[in-house]
Amino acid sequence: MVFSSADAKKLLPELVSLRRRLHAQPEIGLQLPRTQETVLRALDGLGLEIHTGDATTSVTAVLRGKGEHQPGDTVPTVLLRGDMDGLPIIEQTELPYASVNGAMHACGHDLHTAGLVGAARLLSEARNRLPGDVIFMFQPGEEGYNGAGLMIDEGVLEAAGNPVLAAYGVHVAADLPYGKVHSKPGPLMAAFSVLDVTVRGRGGHGSRPYTALDPVQTAAEMIVALQSYISRRFDIFDPVVLTVGDFHGGSAANVIPDIARFRAGIRSFSDEVTARLAVELPNLVSHIALGHGLVADVNFSTDLPATINDHDEAIRYLGVAGEMFGEHRVELMENPRAGSEDFSRILHRVPGAYGHLGAAPRDLAPEDWVSNHSPRARFDDGVLGEHATFLAELAARRLADA
């Protein structure tokens, strides 16, 4: 191994301090000026090539390894990613470093940022042993703002001047046992799509529905039909989860309105199924509307593709974790998680792997753990040293294998 538990212990105090500063000042979306400034200060002096974004307050840092290469050679390059944005949640943890600005790092991105800074420190110190380059991707706007897509558009994958061989990331989890690494080859997290339907009918008096065209009744039939369609037309081993979380229609009990609207969030786990959904679900609701003499305006959009690990890189990811931390701390997941993640956009462009690192507080019983995105979510920042060494080891191993 290039990096050890001693490296993790040495880094830990500095990373905990950085993480807590970030936690106390979360920012939301694509513009994170204070977070960007904190990251730039933390990277200062490491001898990295620093680029900041135009569309976002992103930071891309390139480390040049000292491997021997001839002019014109393709230099092996690995990308490591950490996201930086918080959520619009009022924190309820009562931690001494809790946020008081109305936002919260409830998804652990403060740990992701600090862990990536730690990996940059370790790899910078070991640059003479690196036969290639490393791109450190500090990303705003993961929580629904397409931050990864914008950084791709601005050239993060070409930042080192050579193709990226592999990309890796780690996501901490407040409700997984401390220090456990969870991942798997293939689908790891779901695609997230939205079906937006407006049913246009003809309003009228509630006592005489035959003189109107009732959009509420038709929309309700669509919702039932969507669930039936998914259960009968899609493989249960490549599943789809559809939830209608937004329904509006009418304003009085005795009035049939002109329109009704609903929006459904849809999770799927393969590109093939997501593509089918984009065609078949709009067709289904449109034909139900026509069957009742109404019209439906339908929009299907995929906000995030499925997070799909490359098979070989996922095996590498789990193998490195097992060697570093012990096989007892590694879990090969049976099933993907139904949440979504925009690191998926990176993994659609280059091979790589992603996984979860348990960060449940060691001072809490399992029944008191709460999940990411809760206002009471707590993360044990003792994992930060191992988070950093794991990312650094992944990069060093992949470059050596290249």
d(CA 51, CA 58): 8
CATH classification for the domain delimited by 5-186+308-401, as one of 2.30.40.10, 3.40.630.10, 2.60.120.330, 1.20.120.450: 3.40.630.10
Give me the pLDDT at residue 74, please: 85
Question: E strands within 117-178?
Answer: 133-139, 166-173
- C-beta of residue 116 within 8 angstroms of C-beta of residue 82: yes
d(CA 274, CA 263): 17
CATH code of domain 191-304: 3.30.70.360
Percent of the chain with pLDDT over 90: 97
Residue range(s) of every CATH 3.40.630.10 domain in the chain: 5-186+308-401
Q: Could you identify the residue written with the tokens 């191994």?
A: 1
Q: Is 90 exceeded by the pLDDT of residue 284? A: yes
pLDDT digits (tens, 9 = 90+) for 238-257: 999 999 999 999 999 999 99
pLDDT digits (tens, 9 = 90+) for 221-240: 999 999 999 999 999 999 99
Give me the pLDDT at residue 69, please: 67
Residue range(s) of every CATH 3.30.70.360 domain in the chain: 191-304
The predicted model gives 200-210 an average pLDDT of 96
Give me the pLDDT at residue 261, please: 98
- C-beta of residue 87 within 8 angstroms of C-beta of residue 10: no
Q: Measuring CA to CA, which residue among 330, 381, 348, 324 is closest to residue 167?
A: 348
pLDDT digits (tens, 9 = 90+) for 47-86: 999 999 999 999 999 999 987 666 667 899 999 999 999 9
Phi first, then psi: give them for residue 148, nearest 5 degrees: -65, -40
Q: Which alpha helices (H) appear in 213-365, and where do they start and end?
A: 215-233, 271-291, 311-325, 344-347
